[in-house]
Chains A and B, each alone.
Chain A
Amino acid sequence: MHSLLPLPFFHVWAYLQTQPLLGLTVTICVWEGALLIDRWAGHLALTNPTVLSIIILAALLLSTHTSYQAYFTGAVYIHFLLGPATVALAVPMYANWPAIKQNFVAIIVSLTTGSMLTATSAMLIARALGAPKVVVISLGPKSVTTPIAMGIAQNLGGQPPLTAVFVMVTAMFGTLVCTGVFRLARVEDWRARGLAAGTVAHGLATSRMLILNQTAGAFGGLAIGLNGIITSLALPLIVSIFGF
């Protein structure tokens, strides 16, 4: 499409592709638009603003033949903030500290078992169905909140963008099914529901729990942080034990 542009515009376009301004501005504009769409649709699991923004931006890149590297020149300024945001998770974890202390053993046992089982089963199933190593490894941290999950994938030789997609799909699926699953499995305790939702489907499911019950929301929040820590410690072991 570049060749269809009049020459001066082509120069402007070529210039902007080497600068951070365009990628950064477009990302923020698309995000604000996605927030509007999500509010208008009534916060459905499918109109999650992160998912919407990624779909819209990916479509823009593909349709304008813009490389991801050119886009990332600008988007890196947003991406960088994932680090301090991960550290910031300590603040809500501290707020839930009394609840963690009260049920410490129950939380650690349930969360570690569930988290290891979900990671191992995902990787075993994907490998059995013929997925290559990079896909299998990238699936491992899919239940961990995105900034931590991408860090884990990077350290283990996975592809962080693949992990980001898997994390998002897991969150959407988990959020859609969690209420029904809890009813079928007779999980009636709100602390247990929140913990399970936060452990397996992190932020998105936790925000759904928060709407249903305050305690469930608090336990979901602490599960997000704890699962991030536990998975970063345990996943390297699982990967070497099963030889992924």
Chain B
Amino acid sequence: MVRAFMVLLLCQLAGTIIQQASGLPVPGPVLGLVMLLVYLIRTGGPSPHLRDTANGFLKNLGLLFVPAGVGVVTELKELRDNALAISMGIVVSTLLGLVVTGVLMNWLAKKNLEPENA
């Protein structure tokens, strides 16, 4: 478990070093994610320890957002002053995103299958 935690931290550290050195706009942990994914694809999958530790983290992911989310107490005025702009932005863009992603994938994924059906 400690070794799996070490792997996750090393990926994050490497990602953060690359991000800071290169000035890339991608967050360091995301670069770490990509590095771990490439590593897993090349080595044929995670060890049982890494899989269990990763799943343990992800099962409790909801808890990890809480401290940052509570930061909303410092932003209450910003939220109140812009309530209409924020809610309209979220509602319209969410509907648009769902429809466009769904319709495109519905269409493209079917096309992908056609050679197999023929």
Contacts and interface: CB of A to CB of B under 8 A. Distances in A.
Chain B, interface size category, equals 35 or more
Interface string A73-107: 00110110111111111111110010000110111
Contacts, number: 342
Contacts of A181: 95, 98-99, 102
Nearest to A162: B75
Nearest to A114: B101
Contacts of A218: none
Given A147-B65, A192-B105, A236-B25, A177 B95 contact: yes
A137 interface: no
Interface in B3-45: 5, 8-9, 11-12, 15, 25-30, 32-34, 36-37, 40-41, 45
Interface in B62-118: 62-75, 78-79, 82, 84-86, 88-106, 108-112
A5 B85 CA distance: 43
Interface string A180-215: 011001111101110111011101000000000000
Interface of B: 5, 8-9, 11-12, 15, 25-30, 32-34, 36-37, 40-41, 45-46, 50-51, 53-55, 57-58, 61-75, 78-79, 82, 84-86, 88-106, 108-112
